[in-house]
Structure 1
Amino acid sequence: MSYTFNYTPDGDTIIDFMRSPAFVRGLQGPIGSGKSAACVAECLRLILDEHRCFDPKTVRETSFGVFEGERTGKRKFRGGVIRNTTPQLETTTMKTWLEWLPEEVFGKVRWRAPYRQDIFIPMPDGGDVEGEVWFLALDREEDVRKLLSFEFTWLWLNEARELARAIVTAAISRVRRYPRLIDGGAKRSCIIMDTNAPDEEHWWAIMSGQVEPPDWMSEDDRLTMIKPDNWQFFQQPPAVLDVLNADGTLKGYELNPNRENGRFTDKDYYMSLIHGQSREWIVNMLQNRIGRIFGGRAVYSGFNENLHIAKEAFGPEPGEAIHIGLDFGLTPAAAFGQDVRGQVRIFDELVTRDMHAKQFAKMLKEHIAQHYEGFKIVMTGDPAGDNRSGTDGQTTFQIFAGEGLDVQPCYTNEPEIRQGAVQTQMNMLVEGKPAYLLSPACTYLVNAKKGGYCFLKDREEVDKKSIYSHVSDAEQYLFLRMGYGKKMVRRPGSSGAASKQANVRQGILNRQTSVKQRRQASILSRGLRG
């Protein structure tokens, strides 16, 4: 049966990806950018470019592990295609594969797991292609053992952002294994990968150099994230671009004339996708930028990425005190900011995982000494840090004091006041500028504002298990120490009316209060400043 494989890469990034001699190649791009088709085409190119195996009668070992012989045999290969789940493998990856390499032309598929297509391609020189492609679903690190039973010529990791780093490590060890050296070996063994933009903690984002390793990552783990010299990552341009108003706010979107695969994409495809989608989804899936897509209801409303996030990372203003808010527990976090003429500027953060108070205190002390020597430092922490530990009887504040860090407890832990203090500042302008400004270097706080700091589904309770809740709490303590919590309450009996805030619940402003609550409000209204 005659068959024409008609593929033309549409985009310089795709062309560079296919030309790269790297052992591991990664292609990151928006949806519809031709990533999967490029990988299928590259797999076929590897198959057809394979050299012929040795004639067994002519093989000789010229030196240890080095074989020579007459290449008059078949072209042998064994390829692997990996996706994270079986449904995704069947409905997406294999569907794309068989659109380009149909069964009736290249070989039947064995439709029982693990799936396999036996490939046969007649060649004019008599060295016909004979090989097999295995389709594997590996969505957990435990699935590595599935991979370790195979020997491959090459592997394609489809939608790599859904795969654990352990899967990639295992994949590296399974190529260069077929054909055997004594049979002639493979002309080229490699791993190709494609993905949509991952989140900021993903191994792809770190190894490709798009983000720095997070603070909580151990030194040993950081070493595993250093990109080897024989790896190469390629990033496609966005499919759509932002259209901004004169004041920098988002007006809408337009097609990027330099998008890839545009020749083969319906002109209305991307613009129709935008309708009904969140900003985070558009940024991640269409603009090919690192980030997360959040499903919960955000705690803060009215956050505007173009207004509240600075265009470039910034540091502290000389001569102004640096406020550091601290949240404790086993996921301690810190937020760093200043109050500069009524504008709260958040420029740094420390986010950890599974770290005890003493470890975190040492880390914070070193961070301050390294970056903020000579500044006046004001530290405010979760009032719960005044509780004694069940192990050594020390409070968290005492542990920090032991490291020379003077941390004062915040005067309240009332969520509505803490959240409202940030929300109010976010909704204000100071001298025509936003009263809240966040450095893009604070990736966790940026994602928290985008929706990572959210309420549990169908509840008015914040998702405390989210990594974004801890650094958000730390930021709130900073705000209250600056005095912004005072705007949320008024002293009972005073003539001034309480400010109407944009907090979605506003419960503290419009409900009947008990004697205890009125007493607390009296304390809160005095606040602290500086």
Structure 2
Amino acid sequence: MTNESDEKIIIYNASETGKRFHRSKAKVICAIGPVGSGKSVMCANHIMYLANKQGVSSDFKKYTRVVVVRNTYSELKLTTMKTWCEWFPEEYYGKISKVAPFMQKIEVNDMVIEVIFLALDREKDVKKLLSLECNIIWFNEAREIPWVLVSRATERIGRFNKCVDGDENIRQIIMDTNPPHDEHWIYKVFEEEKPEGFDIFHQPPGLIKDESGNYIQNPDADNYENLSRMGLSDYYTSMVNGKSEEEIRVYALGMYGATFDGKPVHPQYNDNIHYAGKEIETLDKELIISLDFGLTPAVTFEQMTDRGKVNIIDEIIGNDIDIRAFCGDILVPHILKNYSGLPVKGFGDPSGGFRKDTDSSTCIQICNQILKQHGICIEPAYTNVLARRLDAVNRFLGKLVDGEPAFQLSSKARTVRKGFLGGYHYKKVNTVGSTTYKEEPNKNEYSHPMDALQYGMLYFAGNVDKAKNMSNTSSSKLYNTSNTGWMSR
């Protein structure tokens, strides 16, 4: 793609990925790839491409209504609308209204295009999205958009129809995104479920590895020619400096992975050290289950080895389910199927509740009514002080046992792993002149299993302390006895 501003001419040259994207007749299409790959430009030009293909009305014009969506008002104004106006400037394509929701009416040749820009952090905009009749919806940076809105949006496209032949009416949802993690709805819908009418288009990585395993520029990367023209030929190679492997995977290689905003709660976690990369074999030892209550109940499963290493071997996370149903219908069957015969002990949130009018002791009582039939008892963790809970986790993250990490995470604990990678974080607070963060971890889909884990880790940390105290007491007694014996000679 080129932008010849001196001549006031803008020329869009589609990449190979873009050509396939533009040819797709699927109802929902998504472009996914590394940063700087021209995804947003691809989508903006795809809208014009579709509008030009729209069926004609009785006055021989092509009428199209487009909705452009971004997750926040600031991102909509600073990025999405900025990109749009670079390619379809107001002086040539029509002014955009200055009051939200922003609107632009484009009349070019036989095309009449109404473009509406909406932000999902504005309640009025969300209501408008769910009530609008339109032809095309563009979700910019789709990984920030909830699936429920995308699903509802599929009901709105095609309902704006001025075509003489209704079959010629354009209807399509388009998306662009940097890769999310592999439990995101984008991965589940496009890569696993693959419903009819959904197409995803992966762009080439910005980097490839040479024979020595070092990252080098991929000459076939989308938009690389344009980046070079802008003096950014080292755009991707310079990106790797100071970045984690996970960040490189997502932002430079365009692969699914876990990257998050905010400050990680556990910076001591090192995925190369603490993640086993496979399922950890269950030991014939006591199994600890740790519970966090609420309508998103979570359980983590842990064991401690004879040498004092903690293995996080499994997790279960509920969604919009009360604790009675969760325990009876999900937790008990899972334990019976996977951990039958093991002694099981449980620890739960000592202060949380799953309903406003129900306290945590009631939650524990409900759990025990069900679990005690199977010889399992849940106890409240001895503290709910955040600092002590986090310290219980951190002391194992920062320790070695027999030269190996004292904390190991199984591949079955997928959400917990993403929590450690940054999903469980302190949210950034916007302040003038500095970056600050909230004092407590952000409540989100990762905080529930991470909170649960902490209750089990408190138990393990307490056991280690008890063992040390016993050892010190025994050593002291032996020393005194020996000393007395020596002095009595």
TM-score, normalised via structure 1 length: 0.70
Residue 224 of structure 2: aligned partner:
262
Structure 1's unaligned 5+ residue stretches are: 56-72, 123-127, 211-225, 247-251, 498-530
Residue 46 of structure 2: aligned partner:
42
1:190-209 correspondence runs (5 A) = 190-198=172-180, 202-209=184-191
1:106-505 correspondence runs (5 A) = 106-122=93-109, 128-140=110-122, 143-148=125-130, 150-182=132-164, 186-198=168-180, 202-209=184-191, 228-240=195-207, 255=217, 259-265=221-227, 266-273=232-239, 284-288=250-254, 289-296=256-263, 298=265, 300-311=266-277, 313-317=278-282, 320-321=284-285, 323-330=287-294, 331-339=296-304, 342=307, 343-353=309-319, 355-362=321-328, 363-370=330-337, 372-382=338-348, 384=350, 395-396=365-366, 398-407=368-377, 409=379, 412-413=382-383, 419-430=390-401, 433-454=404-425, 462-463=440-441, 465-479=443-457, 485-487=463-465, 490-491=468-469, 494=472
- State the AA in 2 paired with 1:19: R
Structure 2's unaligned 5+ residue stretches are: 1-6, 429-435, 476-489
- State the AA in 2 paired with 1:358: R
CA distance in 1: counterparts of 2:370 and 2:131, whole angstroms? 51
TM-score, normalised via structure 2 length: 0.75
Instruction: State whether residues 289 and 300 of structure 2, in contact with CA within 8 Å, keep that contact through their aligned partners in structure 1.
Output: yes
Distance 1:441 1:236, change over 3 A: farther
Instruction: State whether residues 32 and 202 of structure 2, in contact with CA within 8 Å, keep that contact through their aligned partners in structure 1.
Output: yes
Q: Give CA-to-partner distance per residue, 1:356-397, whole Å, 9 cap, x none.
A: 432232121011233x15452422313839999699797356
Instruction: Give the counterpart of 2:12 among 2, 7, 14.
Output: 7
Instruction: State whether residues 31 and 177 of structure 2, in contact with CA within 8 Å, keep that contact through their aligned partners in structure 1.
Output: yes
Residue 77 of structure 2: aligned partner:
90
Distance 1:456 1:145, change over 3 A: closer
CA distance in 2: counterparts of 1:207 and 1:348, whole angstroms? 24
Distance 1:487 1:15, change over 3 A: farther
Instruction: State whether residues 209 and 215 of structure 2, in contact with CA within 8 Å, keep that contact through their aligned partners in structure 1.
Output: yes
The alpha carbon displacement at 1:279 in A equals 6.7
2:174 is paired with a residue whose SS is: strand
CA distance in 2: counterparts of 1:11 and 1:433, whole angstroms? 47
1:368 is paired with a residue whose SS is: helix
1:384 is paired with a residue whose SS is: coil
Question: In the alignment, is residue 100 of structure 1 matched against residue 87 of structure 2?
Answer: yes
Instruction: State whether residues 350 and 380 of structure 2, in contact with CA within 8 Å, keep that contact through their aligned partners in structure 1.
Output: no
The alpha carbon displacement at 1:22 in A equals 0.8
CA distance in 1: counterparts of 2:351 and 2:99, whole angstroms? 56
Distance 1:324 1:488, change over 3 A: closer
Instruction: State whether residues 325 and 381 of structure 1, in contact with CA within 8 Å, keep that contact through their aligned partners in structure 2.
Output: yes
CA distance in 1: counterparts of 2:299 and 2:248, whole angstroms? 29
1:174 is paired with a residue whose SS is: coil
CA distance in 2: counterparts of 1:10 and 1:191, whole angstroms? 20
CA distance in 1: counterparts of 2:349 and 2:77, whole angstroms? 52
CA distance in 1: counterparts of 2:291 and 2:21, whole angstroms? 44
Q: Give CA-to-partner distance per residue, 1:54-97, whole Å, 9 cap, x none.
A: 57xxxxxxxxxxxxxxxxx2333232322233433232222212
Instruction: State whether residues 326 and 332 of structure 1, in contact with CA within 8 Å, keep that contact through their aligned partners in structure 2.
Output: no
Instruction: State whether residues 28 and 195 of structure 1, in contact with CA within 8 Å, keep that contact through their aligned partners in structure 2.
Output: yes
Instruction: State whether residues 30 and 239 of structure 1, in contact with CA within 8 Å, keep that contact through their aligned partners in structure 2.
Output: yes
Question: In the alignment, is residue 31 of structure 1 matched against residue 35 of structure 2?
Answer: yes
The alpha carbon displacement at 1:349 in A equals 0.5
Distance 1:34 1:435, change over 3 A: same
Q: Give CA-to-partner distance per residue, 1:160-182, whole Å, 9 cap, x none.
A: 23333343244323221233354
CA distance in 2: counterparts of 1:148 and 1:480, whole angstroms? 46
The alpha carbon displacement at 1:408 in A equals 5.1
Instruction: State whether residues 55 and 164 of structure 2, in contact with CA within 8 Å, keep that contact through their aligned partners in structure 1.
Output: no
Instruction: Give the counterpart of 2:62 among 75, 78, 83.
Output: 75
Residue 433 of structure 2: aligned partner:
none
CA distance in 1: counterparts of 2:474 and 2:248, whole angstroms? 44
Q: Give CA-to-partner distance per residue, 1:315-345, whole Å, 9 cap, x none.
A: 534x633623222432532112344564433
CA distance in 2: counterparts of 1:394 and 1:174, whole angstroms? 45
CA distance in 2: counterparts of 1:389 and 1:107, whole angstroms? 58
CA distance in 1: counterparts of 2:455 and 2:100, whole angstroms? 53
CA distance in 1: counterparts of 2:203 and 2:168, whole angstroms? 30
The CA RMSD measured in Å over matched residues stands at 4.2
Count of aligned positions: 448
Instruction: State whether residues 322 and 377 of structure 1, in contact with CA within 8 Å, keep that contact through their aligned partners in structure 2.
Output: yes
Distance 1:98 1:426, change over 3 A: same
- State the AA in 1 paired with 2:416: L
Instruction: State whether residues 24 and 232 of structure 1, in contact with CA within 8 Å, keep that contact through their aligned partners in structure 2.
Output: yes
The alpha carbon displacement at 1:37 in A equals 0.9
Instruction: State whether residues 77 and 153 of structure 1, in contact with CA within 8 Å, keep that contact through their aligned partners in structure 2.
Output: yes
CA distance in 2: counterparts of 1:197 and 1:86, whole angstroms? 22
Q: Give CA-to-partner distance per residue, 1:456-506, whole Å, 9 cap, x none.
A: 888996538455444234334444656774158842993799xxxxxxxxx
1:208 is paired with a residue whose SS is: helix
The alpha carbon displacement at 1:192 in A equals 0.7
2:168 is paired with a residue whose SS is: coil
CA distance in 2: counterparts of 1:235 and 1:404, whole angstroms? 49
Instruction: State whether residues 324 and 334 of structure 1, in contact with CA within 8 Å, keep that contact through their aligned partners in structure 2.
Output: no
2:11 is paired with a residue whose SS is: coil
Instruction: State whether residues 67 and 136 of structure 2, in contact with CA within 8 Å, keep that contact through their aligned partners in structure 1.
Output: yes
1:82 is paired with a residue whose SS is: strand
